[in-house]
Chain A
Amino acid sequence: MTREEYRRLKRMKEKEQRRREREAWEAARGPMDLPFLMLAMMLLGIGLIMLLSASFPSAQADPDVGYDALYYFKRQAGFAGLGVFAMLWMSKINYHRFEGPAKWILRISFVLLVLVLIPGVGITRNHATRWLGIPGVQAGQFQPSEVAKLGIIIYFAQSISSKREKMKTWREGFLPHIVILLAAVLLIGKEPHLSGAILIFGIGAAMMVVGGIHWGWIAAGLASVGTAGYVVLFTDFMEKVVKYNASRITVWRDPFGGTPEFQRDQAWQTIQSLITVGSGGLLGVGLGKSRQKFMFLPEEHNDFIFAVVFEELGLVGATLIMALFAMLIIRGFWLAIHARDRFGSLLVVGVTTQIALQTFLNIAVVTNLIPNTGISLPFFSYGGTALAIQLVEVGIVLSVSRQIKAPKAG
């Protein structure tokens, strides 16, 4: 076979491959999953309303935004609009297209994660170096850790789906994935960005579990995470041995204990969040009528927006919204189960796990179920890039959902 012939053969094979893919895609291209779309859109809508309610007092008092009460709302709504377009566009794309460049996406993610740590390159805010982009220019700045989440999801989906039964093995199934995951966690933790690290670890671990790693590893993983959690949260290991100022954990244990200074400084966020949640009671003080958002509650349009939900809508309203989240998550996993192939399943598992983890951790922080880690709430918290990426991920799920075969008509 000449080289010429070989190339032609290869081109033909590739052409044939693409043709088959397209045929398969077109054959299976059903409608996207409406329940998942509707739930996501409802949460986006409610999230925008709550953002408006939560953000106007501080916007109104902030010279940096020109005392524009609608400043945050307008920006967020703009990003939501863009994000919905991106989502629809993404839902039209055959997700198998990501299978090929998965490795490259992961490599780029790591390059960015390393880049942000190089002094002078990353942008530092509040003692944390998490952003890349042009310093001083808000637009176009982004967090490499957000990219890395997507990178890990796509790469793991590709890699795990191709490993099949070999996922059970140590050499091919467990080791490569855990190394990549821990590397990403270390890089993100170095920024420092604790919640990002926890999140990416959780997503990766969930995908590995679903992908079929040996039960032994799962057990070992659960045991070690559990032990570490216990030691950190319930012993004085951090203060005594690591000599780490574990004020977040002290606050978590007893937010209202401690000196007035302690309550005013370290415990302020948690105390205010608890007061906000608790003062809502069963039915809340009414939409828009939160008092705590008037500068008492810090980060009220960001990490603690759900506290304002509790205060304004009460336990009843907040539970309804939590129920929407739960339905979205359950529907996401349902789509993963019904996906046409393992790659699609794993993509959806990754995305859904991300939404689930972020929702749980955020509300758990707001109610002081866990120590304060500083994590945002999907669809609700202020943050344009993050919202756009979430919607793109929803688009990926929808794309997968389109290839689910319709149930046979009776």
Chain B
Amino acid sequence: MAPKAPNRRPVPPKAAKASTEKRKQDTLRRAKAVIQRRTIYLMLGFGVAAFLALFAKAYDLTINQHDELQARASRQQTSSTTISASRGTIYDRNGVILAKSATADTVFLDPVVIKKQADALDEERAKKVAEGLKEGEKLPVSGEEYKDIIAKKLAEILELEEEAVREKMEKTWSMYETLRTRVDRDIGDEIRAFIADNETGRTIQGIHLSSDAKRYYPYGALASHVIGFLDGDNKGAYGLEAIYEEELQGTKGVEVTAKDANGSQIMFQYEQHYDAEDGNSLQLTLDANIQSYLERGLEDMVSKFGGKYGATGVVMDPRNGAILAIASNPNYDVNEPRQLYTEKFQEELAQVDEEYPPEPGKEHSAEYYDKLAELQKKQWRSKAVNDTYEPGSTFKVLTLAMGLEEGVINLNSNFTCNGGLQVGDRFINCSNKLGHGSQNLKEAVGHSCNPAFMSIGFAVGSNKFYDYLLDFGLQDKTGVDLQGDVGGILIDRDIFVKADIYLATNSFGQTFNVTPLQLITAQSACINGGYLYTPYVVEKELDSDGNVIKQHDATPVRQVISEETSATVRDILEYVVSDGGGRNGQVAGYRIGGKTGTADKTGIKDENGYNEVVVSFMCFAPADDPQVIMLLTLDTPSRFTGTFVSGGNMAAPTASAIMSDILPYLGIAPQYDDEDAGSADSTVPYVVGLTKDEAAAKLTEYGFSAYRTVGGGDTVTDQTPVGGAIVPASAEIILYMGAEKSGEPCTVPNVVGLSASEANKAITNAGLIMKSTGASGTKGIKAISQSLEPEKQVPAGTVVTVQMGQTVQHAD
């Protein structure tokens, strides 16, 4: 490049000079060429190679190592302040709060600091004593006094033993002694006030509070197995709290705090502020009232009849699978889930404590804690969802539905029972060993006749039968949004189809296992028109502003039987309650359908050699248009309560009592026929001041037909019950015609075992009013329990509720 500058001036033609000039030009050119060539190397090196190296390294950092470096960046930028998110609330279907979060304080001591302050006080005191006090000056408290003041006050506020606080304070090697975790905010505030202002005259150092969220369960044990509880880190440990952890917990917020070279923190008003997002709330299908009716019923049943392994109850809306109530007994208080709540468990634990005395210096032995953990897990189990059982006769509803659907039976089918059936090499007994004789389909179901159902099973055929088991969802998990959903345990299909014995026993609900929830789901399908729904408890998910984020979609999984079949099943099951083995399940004023069950646990005997059994009862109402279905089970009731062990005797009356609460609550109006009319409630009119005839007319107008008078006056001066009271219309009203109302209390008579009219007479004679619930009719129906104990003294006119029913001496 750049050719030599052309020499414009004339050069003298001297060869020597020309050659010198040329040489000079040559060297110049060569020197320039060297510079140019070597500059190109620099250009390539600095302009290309260097940048390629930089790019390669930068690519590695920003792309390959991006995630790791980004994580480090987030960690250091967000390490300082997190803004906690409030956990979502759990509501029942009506908005009643079942679980809610609020701020709470954990209180702990720093014994090291307390000792330091105490020592400083002693020193100061000694100095003051040595120097002598100035006028008006007070001697500071001594170290011991100081500690006493703290211990006393803390013990008082936190409801602890003063000794215990003092003991922790003496652990002067420790800097962290927890006194109580998660106390309410106002208790924390009380302590804060004490720290700042107290009789020692100084701010107390060494008492610390840390705030975090506490979970409150206003109803304690209500629906405990559904709701569950949190672990120590405020994360869901059990129940809905655990399975909806992600939805409930929310997202923590972050405030970026920058550090300067000294490690101190500088806050910037900058966009690096992420708001905490509160957790979503859950609205359940559960109804707190129905749940409490159910739990109370289970409690009653267990206390009356015993129940070695507890009891379960599920109340469901058969029209969509929504669970209105689900309970397992025993339960526990979710506020303190780690305590044991049943005497049996407490005794078991105490026994271990005796067997394995703790090592010195420790509170309990390792075995004790193992046992405690085991019992806690038992207590937390939701039996209705987690545990399977042999359903027994309540399963016959399904066999019935299959038979009708397949057309192998109809209402006119006839079954003969001789007290059992020979299947292969085994003779299988009917529950009634004398046999039921000849019976039509309704009667066979009413009798819960095993041979009849075995023959229905055989008519359906093992392959078809097994298909139905699967279609009813008995093998799969139900898909319910509850913890520990399990599937049933069926006999392997290959084995099942080979031998008749399995089909025979399955037909009446034995030799396979399902959970109560699975069974009620399948039974729902039998009576709701044939649709199998997925049971569920979470209706809606709401964000913190109350907007619905998710809504349960209640589309049926499949239709298992036809509408017609379902209607026939309903009809037959209504017969079972009105005239068959389920009469104890009647509820006055309502059409109830149901089926009892008393299931042997195949091969399991109790310590007295009896078969262990699960008694159960399934019922639904109204029978023609079911809006609610319920299944109760009682696992291994006592044989020594005087009540013959059967579902009809134990579960059905309980179900009747629960249903008589639930149905009016759901707004389903009772309809009384003549026979039942007496048990319908009516409001007593106010008749004081009227003549006897006027009063009688008014009473009739209000539905009261029975009255008697006391005294001989012209006008009514007083009445029992008083005007406005709501009592059964069958009650006898006492009109006092001038006579003094006796203040004497009345004695409750024992009416158990009497017929309805006998019981009413006895109670009326005692000056009380009877309200009868449960079964009606005369054939074998007797009072089986009463709401007030016999011999109890109560005011005149008190209502005694009598549960009517029938005790049969065979299982069902």
A interface residues with partner B (beta carbon < 8 Å)? 57, 60-61, 161, 164-165, 167, 206, 209-212, 274-282, 289, 291-292, 294-296, 298, 310, 314-315, 318-319, 322-323, 325-326, 329-330, 333-334, 336-338, 340-342, 345-346, 349, 352-353, 356-357, 360, 363-364, 367-369, 405
Contact = CB atoms under 8 A, between A and B. Distances in A.
A277 B58 contact: yes
A336 B41 CA distance: 12
B40 A367 contact: no
Given A310-B58, A357-B46, A210 B268 contact: no
27 contacts: A61-B260, A164-B28, A165-B27, A165-B30, A209-B41, A210-B39, A212-B35, A274-B61, A279-B72, A281-B66, A282-B66, A291-B272, A294-B272, A296-B258, A310-B61, A315-B58, A330-B48, A337-B43, A338-B1, A341-B32, A342-B32, A349-B35, A353-B46, A364-B53, A367-B54, A367-B58, A369-B54
Interface string B1-22: 1100000000000000000000
B66 A294 contact: no
Given A281-B66, A318-B62, 18 more contacts: A60-B268, A209-B38, A210-B35, A277-B62, A278-B66, A280-B62, A291-B256, A291-B272, A294-B272, A296-B77, A296-B258, A315-B58, A322-B58, A333-B46, A340-B2, A345-B39, A349-B39, A405-B2
Nearest to B68: A278
Contacts of A319: 55, 58
Contacts of B30: 165
B42 A210 contact: yes
B693 interface: no
Given A165-B27, A369-B54, A278 B46 contact: no
Contacts of A60: 268
B49 to A, nearest CB: 10
Contacts of A346: 35
A90 B639 CA distance: 114
Contacts of B73: 275-276, 278-279, 291-292
B62 A360 contact: no
B46 A337 contact: no
A291 B268 CA distance: 11
B61 A61 contact: no
Given A165-B27, A294-B256, A345-B32, A279 B57 contact: no
B259 interface: yes
A353 B48 CA distance: 13
Contacts of B43: 329-330, 333-334, 337
Interface residues of B, number: 49
A364 B36 CA distance: 28
Nearest to B56: A369
Contacts of A352: 42, 46
Interface in B722-773: none
Contacts of A294: 77, 256, 258, 266, 268, 270, 272
Contact of A164 (B27, B36, B42, B266): B27
A318 B58 contact: yes
Contacts of B268: 57, 60-61, 294
A275 B61 CA distance: 9
Contacts of B272: 291, 294
Per DSSP, chain A at the interface is helix
B50 A211 contact: no
Interface of B: 1-2, 27-28, 30-32, 34-36, 38-43, 46-48, 50-51, 53-55, 57-59, 61-63, 65-66, 68-70, 72-73, 76-77, 256, 258-261, 266, 268, 270-272
Contacts of B58: 277, 310, 315, 318-319, 322, 363, 367
Contact of A363 (B46, B54, B77): B54
Contacts of A356: 42, 46-47, 50
A310 B42 contact: no
A289 B55 contact: no
A310 B54 CA distance: 12
B46 A212 contact: no
A281 B63 contact: yes
A84 to B, nearest CB: 24
Given A275-B72, A319-B55, A333 B61 contact: no
Nearest to A334: B43
Nearest to B54: A363
A279 B70 contact: yes
Nearest to B257: A294
Contacts of B258: 57, 294-296
Contacts of A364: 53-54, 57
Contacts of A291: 73, 77, 256, 272
Contacts of A295: 258-261, 266
A278 B62 contact: yes
A341 B268 CA distance: 57
The 3 closest A-B pairs by CB, nearest first: A278-B69, A356-B46, A294-B258
B811 to A, nearest CB: 72
A394 to B, nearest CB: 16
Nearest to A280: B62
Contact of B61 (A277, A337, A341): A277
Contacts of A296: 76-77, 258-259
A369 B58 CA distance: 9
Given A315-B58, A322-B54, A326-B48, A164 B31 contact: yes
Among A274, A275, A364, max chain B CB count under 10 A is at A275
Contacts of A360: 46, 50-51, 54
Contact of A338 (B2, B28, B66, B261): B2
A338 B451 CA distance: 113
A340 B35 CA distance: 12
Nearest to A168: B34
Nearest to A319: B55
A287 to B, nearest CB: 13
A310 B62 contact: yes
A341 B32 CA distance: 8
Nearest to A364: B54
Contacts of B61: 274, 277-278, 310, 367
Contacts of A323: 51
B38 to A, nearest CB: 5
Contact of B62 (A281, A289, A341, A405): A281
A127 to B, nearest CB: 16
Given A61-B266, A165-B30, A279-B66, A326 B51 contact: yes
B74 to A, nearest CB: 8
A356 B58 CA distance: 18
Nearest to A327: B47
Nearest to B75: A275
A294 B271 CA distance: 12
A84 B30 CA distance: 36
B32 to A, nearest CB: 6
Given A279-B70, A292-B73, A333-B46, A322 B51 contact: yes
A368 B256 CA distance: 26
B255 to A, nearest CB: 12
A279 B28 CA distance: 54
B59 A342 contact: no
B27 A345 contact: no
Among B31, B63, B266, B270, max chain A CB count under 10 A is at B31
Nearest to B72: A275
A271 B260 CA distance: 15
A291 B36 CA distance: 46
Given A61-B266, A212-B38, A282-B62, A298 B261 contact: yes
Contacts of A165: 27, 30-31
B55 A322 contact: yes
Nearest to A276: B73
Contacts of A322: 51, 54-55, 58
A212 B30 CA distance: 10
A333 B259 CA distance: 44
Contacts of B66: 278-279, 281-282
Contacts of B271: 289
Contacts of B47: 326, 329-330, 333, 356
